[in-house]
């Protein structure tokens, strides 16, 4: 008796006829018919009331079906366990202070190690570094190189903040702005932007911040309201929007340099990725 035969039995029950089941299973009708016959021989019992034109389950068939479903459920449990195990082995936990460097890191990683799965967590800089030390994260993305000798830091990318202004707004005339110019204006702002949220709260404390979790809704609101919003030079950001212009911010806090940090004794995959990223960012210069 084979598991495939049990799956076939379940399929025949589900689709009513051998023909229909065979179609669903992507095998020929005679093949399925024979396979079911083999199962009956193995079990020493007819499983169907047969006419030349149809099959219906008899008592033995229903019994076999119950057993089959139980066995197949167990098999699925096993397969799920192993799928989960593979997934965990392929995945690396990334603690980052911002989303943009995660996008960059993900792009670089899938290019060179397509099997790898990154599990990003946005958090504070201190927490990210501590997760790295606790082995709760495999890599971290911080705003400065770490001082700890057990960790290795390499520059990953820079990100510059812009403010996106409707042309109807007087600020749109300016070629550069500082946070001081913006304080008090209403801002549309995305959720989960990491440390940028801290910068915003600190630098424009009097502004009303309208947070959005859904990117589609966010963009829709940007298009249809007069509220300001931030963008950056990260390539994943939205392109130009009609009736709006992006103006660079001159403040030092509007410029971030991200560093990829990993334990020097990390897993081989981690070391591989770090050196690959190092090489790629070096080439980019």
Provide the binding-site residues for DNA, judged by CB under 7 A.
Answer: 4, 17-20, 26-31, 33-38, 48, 50-55
Which partner, a second copy, DNA, none, binds residue 54 by CB below 5 to 8 Å per kind?
Answer: DNA
What tokens were used for 132?
């790295």
SS3 141: strand
- The Cα-based distances of 104 to 131, 186, 230 in angstroms read 21, 30, 19
Is 74 near a second copy (CB under 8 A)? yes
DSSP state of 170: G
Residue 204 parent element (H or E): none
Residue tagged 């079990």 (tokens): 43
Which partner, DNA, a second copy, none, binds residue 60 by CB below 5 to 8 Å per kind?
Answer: a second copy
Stretch that binds a second copy, among 10-18, 70-78, 101-109, 130-138 (CB under 8 A): 70-78
d(CA 99, CA 120): 9
d(CA 200, CA 220): 22
Is 121 near a second copy (CB under 8 A)? no
Candidates 34, 77, 111, 191; binder of a second copy (CB under 8 A) is 77
Candidates 14, 34, 70, 135; binder of a second copy (CB under 8 A) is 70
For DNA, the closer of residues 27 and 197 by Cβ is 27
Q: Please check whether residue 138 is in contact with residue 95, taking contact to mean a CB–CB distance below 8 angstroms.
A: no
Candidates 3, 167, 250, 267; binder of a second copy (CB under 8 A) is 3
Cβ at position 37, least distance to a second copy in Å: 15
For a second copy, the closer of residues 70 and 223 by Cβ is 70
Closest C-alpha to 121, from 136, 133, 143, 108? 136
Which partner, DNA, a second copy, none, binds residue 86 by CB below 5 to 8 Å per kind?
Answer: a second copy
What tokens were used for 245?
């212009």
d(CA 11, CA 21): 5
SS3 87: helix
Candidates 28, 62, 78, 279; binder of a second copy (CB under 8 A) is 78
Candidates 71, 133, 219, 241; binder of a second copy (CB under 8 A) is 71
Beta strands 209-212 and 48-50 are unpaired
Cβ at position 53, least distance to DNA in Å: 4
Cβ at position 65, least distance to DNA in Å: 15
| Residues lying near a second copy in the complex (CB under 8 A) | 1-3, 43-45, 60, 63-64, 67-68, 70-71, 74-75, 77-79, 81-83, 85-86
């Amino acid at each position: 008796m084979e598991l495939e035969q049990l799956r076939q039995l379940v399929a025949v029950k589900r689709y009513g006829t051998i023909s229909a089941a065979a179609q669903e299973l992507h095998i020929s009708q005679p093949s399925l018919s024979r396979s079911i016959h083999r199962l009956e021989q193995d079990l020493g019992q007819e499983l169907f009331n047969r006419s030349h034109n149809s099959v219906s389950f008899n008592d033995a068939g229903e019994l076999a079906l119950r057993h089959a479903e139980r066995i197949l459920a167990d098999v699925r449990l096993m397969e799920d366990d192993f799928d989960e195990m593979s997934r965990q082995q392929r995945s690396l936990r990334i603690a980052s202070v911002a989303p943009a460097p995660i996008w960059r890191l993900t792009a670089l990683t899938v290019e060179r190690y397509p099997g790898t799965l990154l599990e990003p967590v946005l958090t504070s800089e201190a927490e990210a570094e501590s997760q790295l030390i606790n082995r709760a994260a495999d890599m971290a993305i911080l705003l400065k190189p770490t001082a700890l000798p057990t960790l290795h830091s390499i520059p990953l990318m820079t990100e510059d903040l812009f403010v996106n202004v409707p042309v109807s707004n007087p600020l749109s005339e300016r070629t550069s702005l500082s946070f001081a110019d913006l304080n008090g204006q209403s801002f549309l702002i995305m959720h989960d932007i990491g440390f940028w949220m801290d910068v915003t709260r600190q630098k424009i404390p009097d502004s009303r911040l309208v947070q959005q979790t859904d990117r589609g809704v966010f963009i829709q609101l940007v298009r249809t309201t007069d509220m300001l919003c931030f963008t950056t030079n990260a390539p994943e950001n939205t392109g130009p929007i009609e009736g709006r212009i992006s103006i660079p911010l001159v403040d030092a806090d509007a410029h971030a340099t991200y560093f990829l940090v990993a334990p020097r004794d990390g897993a081989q995959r981690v070391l591989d990725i770090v050196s690959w990223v190092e090489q790629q960012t070096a080439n980019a210069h």
